Amino acid sequence: MGKQTTYRLGCDIGGTFTDFVLVDNNTGEFYTNKCLTTPSDPSDAIEQGVREIGERLPGFMDNVDEIIHGTTLVINAIIERKGAKTGLITTKGFRDILELGREKRYDAYDIFSEYPEPIVPRADRTEIDERMRFDGQILKDVDEKEVLAVLDQFKKEGIESIAVCFINSYENPVNEKKIKDLLEKQAPGIFLSASFEVLPEIKEYERTRTTAVNAYVKPITYWYLNKLVDRLGAIGFDGKLFIMLSSGGITSVDTAKQFPVRIIESGPTAAVIASQHYGKMFDIKDMFCFDMGGTTAKSCLIQDGHAGLVSTFEVGRVQRFKKGSGLPIQVPVVDLMEIGAGGGSIAKISNLGLLQVGPESAGADPGPACYKQGGDNPTVTDADLVLGYLDPDFFLGGTMELDIELSKKAIEEKIAKPLGTTMVEAAFGIHDLINETMASAAKTHIAEKGGNPNLITISAFGGAGPVHTYGLAKKIGAPAILVPPLAGVGSALGFFTAPVAFDMSRSHRVVIEEADFNAIETLFNDLESESAKTLEGDQKGEEIIFQRTLLMRFVGQGAEIDLAVSNQDFNEFSKEKIKSMFHEEYERLYGRTSEGSPIEFVTFKIRASLPKKPFSISKLKNDNTDIQTCIKGQRKAFSVIKKDYIPFTVYDRSKLFANAKFSGPAIIEERESTIVIGEDTNARVDEFGFIWIKINPKNESGAAGEDK
């Protein structure tokens, strides 16, 4: 293998599987791999997967320029409470901010409602007698002796990481900086997170919570990434390692170690970015990205080629579908919806005697019953296997054999017998219930974004996504499905569409009429300079692209709207122009506005990014024109229309050719995933290998007829 061949490698660690996509930068050729995740040490699975690719391409690691990595390490550490022992230093009188929150109940009528335990216990939180006014004026300085006493106490308690968050420090961080300088001198071995660096924004509760979470996961992220760099180096990698951000960009290892809270949704974001890329590629107005893996299902409505960004999301909800029952994190994140529904989701009988699927997952160890690793709980994968959707001899391309008898036994004993149904009815109940759960959440998400499920195209990703997308589409009324090449490792592939980027923000509340636009331009310039520093090591002479955003609201409101503005000098905007833009966006979102009400700036944001280096998908080279040569055979699978087993034609996706057309019922198999479509569908393959599936709602009794 000559040095002229260079590669990029995408690696996505999920709850059940770790996915790999290797792309040849010269030819655009892809190589994929999929192996079980190793929860005890995720880097084990990475090394295993890389070595397996090396068996097909000996010495390839010597020519890998970049590795882009997405991981669930941070979010799992938060949910499972496996982070570091963390201490919080805050302003006198604000020790209980983590419990007080917004003083709102997420369910006003549930007197027994539960809330997640604070990430930092009260005993590990302490106060400093300092004070800053809302406008940044210092009322009380930091006492160095008081800080040293706190530090001594933290050392005695075995605190590994410290979060510092003072009231109003977003306006003037001088007191937090004093704490930081002092701690770095007196305790260089302790990890530190200061809110003026992590989140210099208004809203004390969210800022404190986000800073505390960053501190909580900082040590494990630091040690994991250091270990990963060493292990990759040991197997021949000397290129650049990037980490996927929740906001849809990628960043350096050093930045990820400093701000691990930014990579909480590292893996799930990538599929959305890939779907966004495909939406622009085919000019699809409304695309619904559906990514279902082994542990969770993620989705996002992409409108006019853009996935929305939000500044706040929740982690570890006590009640999965109830907003406010989790830990709020205020960082830029792609606006996706996550459901505890994956191939490993466990089916059980609830306390009410009803069938329940998820949110608990069998994960990679022990996994579904059919994995033959000791798991005895029935899962969605077990149900899909019993229903005929999966081939037990071709799972992961035949490298992992499934045991259908173990699936039948688990479903029979734990679901069918308690419910008094047949094993097949129980299996379909599991499959259908998980589809219904996802459909209910999807319809809500689409409605909240002003979309129409009857007009969207669903893009399917993940190992389990293409199996369930047809059922999801039927339930929400979507007319079309798009299954891209390598859908089963779509997140790992999506990494290649993400730019090197970083987002920064700063809050400064001021009414428009009183605002100094020259001062705002200076603030934007400062943010651009700071954000550009995070990209310096990756710039390689490329021009940095800046995107400016204003967070604004009517005076008296508690929530802001995002208003994107051009990068021209802010002094060139008139106050009337900004107000007009605000009213237009507000009316688009809410249907009406209030022309006479005063408006205020709240937060100013910058995204710094480098030009994208997206992959290009090669056209299919198969000259075949006979669809019969693509057929592997037939097998009986369960029809959601007829509620019985019927013959499904099984196709080999690798043999499908450009302009190939066929009708359902059909199963299309590839190494990474399986596509299942019913008898009321038409499918065609385009020149790039994308499979376009059209659902005919008028014909649910037989074949869909010829695709027009």
pLDDT interval class at 698 (50, 70, 90): low
Q: How many residues does the chain have?
A: 708
Residue 156 predicted with pLDDT over 70 = yes
Domains observed in the chain: 7-77+223-263 (3.30.420.40), 81-216 (3.40.50), 345-431 (no CATH), 502-609 (3.30.1490)
Q: Which residue has the higher pLDDT, 578 or 671?
A: 578
| pLDDT value for 280 | 87
| pLDDT value for 116 | 84
| pLDDT value for 6 | 87
First to last CA, the chain: 46
pLDDT tens figures, 621-657: 777 788 999 999 999 999 999 999 999 999 999 899 9
Contact 347, 413 (CB under 8 A): no
| pLDDT value for 618 | 78
How far apart (Å, rounded) are the C-alpha atoms in residues 131 and 334?
35
Q: What is the mean pLDDT of the chain?
A: 88
Of 586, 560, 585, whose CA–CA distance to 203 is shortest? 560
| pLDDT value for 76 | 77
Q: Helix-strand-coil percent breakdown of the chain, rounded to 5? A: 35, 25, 40
pLDDT interval class at 454 (50, 70, 90): very high
Q: Kindly report the three-state secondary structure assignment for every residue of 525-574.
A: HHHHHHHHHCCHHHCCCCCCEEEEEEEEEECCCCCCEEEEECCCCHHHCC
Q: Which residue has the higher pLDDT, 341 or 335?
A: 335
The residue to which tokens 């004993």 are assigned:
413
CA 288 to chain centre: 14
How far apart (Å, rounded) are the C-alpha atoms in residues 356 and 346?
8
What is this structure's pTM?
Answer: 0.84
pLDDT tens figures, 253-311: 999 999 999 998 877 788 888 888 888 889 998 999 998 887 778 888 998 888 877 88
Mark 64-90 as b/e (b = at least 16 C-beta within 10 Å).
bebbbbbbbbbbbbbeeeebbebbbbb
Q: Which amino acid is residue 309, in one-letter code? A: L
The residue to which tokens 């329940």 are assigned:
356
Of 219, 217, 216, 260, whose CA–CA distance to 125 is shortest? 216
Q: State both tokens at 645.
A: 């087993």
pLDDT interval class at 340 (50, 70, 90): low
Contact 38, 364 (CB under 8 A): yes
The residue to which tokens 């939000």 are assigned:
310
How far apart (Å, rounded) are the C-alpha atoms in residues 588 and 580?
12
pLDDT interval class at 704 (50, 70, 90): very low
How far apart (Å, rounded) are the C-alpha atoms in residues 669 and 139?
68
pLDDT tens figures, 22-36: 988 887 788 888 888
Using CB atoms within 10 A of its CB, is residue 157 exposed (0-12), middle (13-18) or buried (19+)?
A: exposed
| pLDDT value for 322 | 73
| pLDDT value for 701 | 46
Which of these ranges, 146-150, 262-266, 523-527, 621-625, has the smallest mean pLDDT? 621-625
DSSP-derived secondary structure for 498-534:
PPBEEEEEEEEEEEGGG--HHHHHHHHHHHHHHHHHT
pLDDT interval class at 539 (50, 70, 90): low
User: Pairing mode, if any, of strands 631-639 and 545-554?
Assistant: unpaired
Q: Which residue has the higher pLDDT, 552 or 613?
A: 552
pLDDT interval class at 445 (50, 70, 90): confident
Looking at the chain, the whole-number percentage of residues with pLDDT higher than 70 is 97
How far apart (Å, rounded) are the C-alpha atoms in residues 11 and 100?
39
Interacting residues of 509 by C-beta distance below 8 A, sequence separation 6+: 134, 202, 600, 601, 602
Q: Report phi then psi at 207, rounded to 5.
A: -65, -45
Q: What is the mean pLDDT of residues 110-139?
A: 90
Give the number of C-alpha atoms closer than 13 A to the C-alpha of residue 560, restricted to the C-beta side: 22
Residue 2 predicted with pLDDT over 50 = no
pLDDT tens figures, 200-229: 999 899 999 999 999 999 999 999 999 999
How many of the other CB atoms lie within 10 Å of CB of 273? 28
Contact 244, 493 (CB under 8 A): no
Alpha-helical segments (H) within 358-489? 380-386, 404-411, 417-419, 423-448, 465-476
Q: State both tokens at 650.
A: 């099984």
Of 570, 69, 650, 142, whose CA–CA distance to 393 is shortest? 650
Q: Check residue 657 and report its DSSP letter.
A: -
Q: Which amino acid is residue 628, in one-letter code? A: Q
Of 605, 586, 599, whose CA–CA distance to 513 is shortest? 599
Rg over CA atoms, the chain: 26
Residue 700 predicted with pLDDT over 60 = no
pLDDT tens figures, 244-257: 998 888 899 999 99
Q: Report phi then psi at 665, rounded to 5.
A: -75, 135
Contact 12, 19 (CB under 8 A): yes
Q: Check residue 490 and report its DSSP letter.
A: H
Residue 62 predicted with pLDDT over 80 = yes
How far apart (Å, rounded) are the C-alpha atoms in residues 210 and 194?
10
| pLDDT value for 326 | 81
Q: What is the mean pLDDT of residues 234-238?
A: 89
Q: Evaluate the CA torsion angle 319, 323, 325, 331 in order and state its sign.
A: positive
Residue 682 predicted with pLDDT over 60 = yes
pLDDT interval class at 313 (50, 70, 90): confident
Using DSSP, state whether 593 is helix, strand or coil. Answer: coil
How far apart (Å, rounded) are the C-alpha atoms in residues 569 and 94?
39
How far apart (Å, rounded) are the C-alpha atoms in residues 277 and 490?
12
| pLDDT value for 705 | 44
Q: Evaluate the CA torsion angle 526, 528, 534, 537 in order and state its sign.
A: negative
